Amino acid sequence: MSTVTQNEMHIGLEALKWRYATKRFNPERELTEETLNSLLEAARLAPSSYGLQPYRIFVIRDRAIREKLREAAWNQPQLTEASYVVVFAHNADFGPELVDDYIDLVARERKTNKENLSGYADFMKSKLLDLPREAKSNWTARQAYIALGNLMYAAAEMGVDSCPMEGFETEKVNEILGLEVQGLSAAVIATVGYRSEDDVTQHYPKVRKSPEVLFEYL
């Protein structure tokens, strides 16, 4: 089994120091398909509660759709300047099918009978299905954010710029992408590409709380 070396950990921290929430992208510099697929694979491999992945990820290439999304996001230029727009849409509600579909997948991938997984399925259902709709929606949205974090970390490691975006009108984004009819709702958007030299925010010092303020050891 491979292990992460101290040098590799240092490289990872340097990548996190390098990244920033990119406000202006260079529309002339496109991500390759290979790079895009690596970012999406990082999102796919993200952990989620019970492994259920209660969300879908939409990769927006179409220019007309991106213009509409920009209007729904208060005209923020990232939506049309970045190479790709990635929308993380979470399950607004769910029933037993969320667990049942996952159990089917586990049985196929691990080549086991579903009966062997019935106890785990019943446990998940007992913890999730009786939650109020709002609690379900909040929980699924949080899972989508974990996938966003994986994508952004992978982007930083690869020297790709990104910007997480919550500044949009959810109802309009849902309408543009036809999410409601799929039982989904937009949780967060990530734009990915390469920074513009004209983006002055890339030169701002990174501002974070000090370790003494942020961390408490008990």
Question: Considering the domain 19-214, what is its CATH architecture?
Answer: 3-Layer(aba) Sandwich (3.40)
pLDDT band at 9; cut points 50, 70, 90: low
Average pLDDT over residues 81-99: 98
Domain limits of the chain?
A: 19-214
DSSP state of 129: T
Give 27's contacts (C-beta < 8 A, 6+ positions apart): 80, 81, 82, 193
Got the DSSP string for 10-59? HHHHHHHHH--B-SSB-TTSPPPHHHHHHHHHHHHT---GGG---EEEEE
Partners of residue 87 on adjacent β-strands: 58, 189
pLDDT tens sequence across 135-185: 999 999 999 999 999 999 999 999 999 999 999 999 999 999 999 999 999
Does the pLDDT value for residue 1 go beyond 60? no
Nearest to 185, CA basis, from 131, 137, 151, 136: 137
Whole-number Å distance between alpha carbons of 11 and 156: 10
Q: Is the Cβ–Cβ distance between 96 and 125 less than 8 Å?
A: yes
pTM higher than 0.85? yes
pLDDT band at 208; cut points 50, 70, 90: very high
pLDDT tens sequence across 101-142: 999 999 999 999 999 999 999 999 999 999 999 999 999 999
